[in-house]
Structure formats: structure tokens, C-alpha cells
Structure 1
Amino acid sequence: MKKKDITQMAFRDLYPLYIQKVERKGHSQSEVNQIIYWLTGYNDQLLSEQIETGATLANFFQNAPHINENTALIKGSIFGIHVENIQDPLVQEIRYLDKLIDELAHNKTMEQILRSEIS
């Protein structure tokens, strides 16, 4: 069986899964959106456009207005892989988003998730 290329998945297929994951832990879609906005620079309108057009994850990240400069602060593993060690920049960005959503589902504070300088 051939392994599916994650970069070709439609973002609109993954987005509801992120929401379901965090809602099971008492969090909301607006928190998921806040994470996406922080990481990618998207806003409500631009995010909706990406969902409506069926953008692949590759297109979603390539068209991102601005990838946050603090992504290097995102550390840890997702699916058994340390995000800081991923060599492919696109796959790394995808896994950064996975990691941040996972942190929300594990009840980290938004300040911790968004790597705020607030102590």
C-alpha cells in the first residue's frame, strides 16, 4: 500500500478533525483559529477562502501570509517525530500545526502554545 503524501491532503478535511480533537477536551474552534492565525498569519476571511477552495496543505502553507518567526521555539514530538528535526520545511510547518493543536488538546495555556514572552 502506497503511503499518502500529507502535503496533498485538503486542509478542509483536516480542519474539522482539529476542532473535534480540542472540543473533546473542552476547547473551541476559536482557539484552533487563534493557533492557525498565529502560525500562518491567516485571518477569518483568508482562512475561510482556503477551506472553501479546498487548498491542499502544501498550498495552505505556501499561500500563508506570514509564517510566525517563533516557530523555532516549537519543540517536542508529534506522531513520534521531533518537529525540530524535520528536514522538509513544508512538512515541518504541517507538523508544527499538529503539535500546537495537540498542546491545546493537552490543556496547555494559550500563552505557552503561542510561545508568548509572558512569564
Structure 2
Amino acid sequence: MSVGTVIDWLAAVALVSGALLSLAAGIGVLRFPDVLDRMHAATKPQVLGMLLLLLGLALRLRTAADLGMILLVGVFQLATAPVAAQMIGRAAYRSGRVDRSLLDVDELAGDPPRTGE
């Protein structure tokens, strides 16, 4: 078995794994009951699925221009997904859409922090 064949098989495994994780994320967004669970499903498996898909593409394409673009997409995905999840969670908490009894620690409960002290 040649090196190219092994790399193609690794690319296929990464592509299928990434697609399955992305599918699981989509199903989780549709099926989970509350905002925090949906937010978790929209970020964790989706980001890992996207990175596996990008790894599969990188193994399959192997050109400098394609690898640069794939790297940029991966970096932007890793930079924006956590920030978006944080903002969604904060907006849901502030609008009262979070069941606070489900939280183990509620750092935002009580008085808002004072600035300038």
C-alpha cells in the first residue's frame, strides 16, 4: 500500500467523522430542550466536526493555496464559535430563558459587579 493511499484513507476517515459530528450537532440543536444545551450542541461537536472536515480536505487537496485557506477557515472557526456561544448564553441568561435551577454555579446571580473600586 502506497503512502498516497494511506493518506487518502485517513482523509476519508476524517471527512466521514467530521460529517457525523456535524450531523450530531444539528440533531442536538433541534432536539435539546433548553438554550444552554442547544448552545453546547451548536459549538462543541460542530467545531470538532468542522476541524475534522478541514483536516480531511487538507489531506486530500495538499496544495499550498488550499492549505492556507483551510488554515484560515479553521482559525476563524476556533476564534468565533466560543465568542458566539458566550454571547448567546449571556443573552439567554439576561432575558430569563435559562432555568437557573439547572446551573451548578451561578456567577451572575446577585448584584452586578461594581466598577471603579
More helix by share: 2
Higher radius of gyration, 1 or 2: 2
Which of 1 and 2 has higher RCO (CA within 8 Å, sep 6+)? Answer: 1
Shared fold per TM-score greater than 0.5: no
TM-score band w.r.t. shorter chain:
under 0.3
Q: Provide the TM-score with structure 1 as the length reference.
A: 0.26
